[in-house]
Amino acid sequence: MKEELGLDHFEGRSWQGLHRHALMTMIAYAFLQHRRLAYAGRKKKNLRASASANHASRTSRHR
């Protein structure tokens, strides 16, 4: 995980530089988590919508 976010790329020597790099890494992680959760929510919503549409179309055929 740290390789994907760039945490292993820090080679600076100052404490302030480490804090800046850690902050940017946390921002990148938060962005990626937000995108992942938004995609998962959209996927669930689409599954629910298609399932209810399929159920509605099946009931109309049987009448």
**The pLDDT of residue 27:** 95
pLDDT in tens, 2-45: 677 676 776 777 888 888 888 999 999 999 999 999 998 887 77
**The pLDDT of residue 24:** 92
Q: What is the DSSP letter of 3?
A: H
Between the CA atoms of 24, 25, 27 and 28, what dihedral angle is there, to the nearest 10 degrees?
120
On whether the pTM is more than 0.75, the answer is no
32 vs 38: CA distance, rounded Å: 10
Domain residue ranges in the chain: 2-61
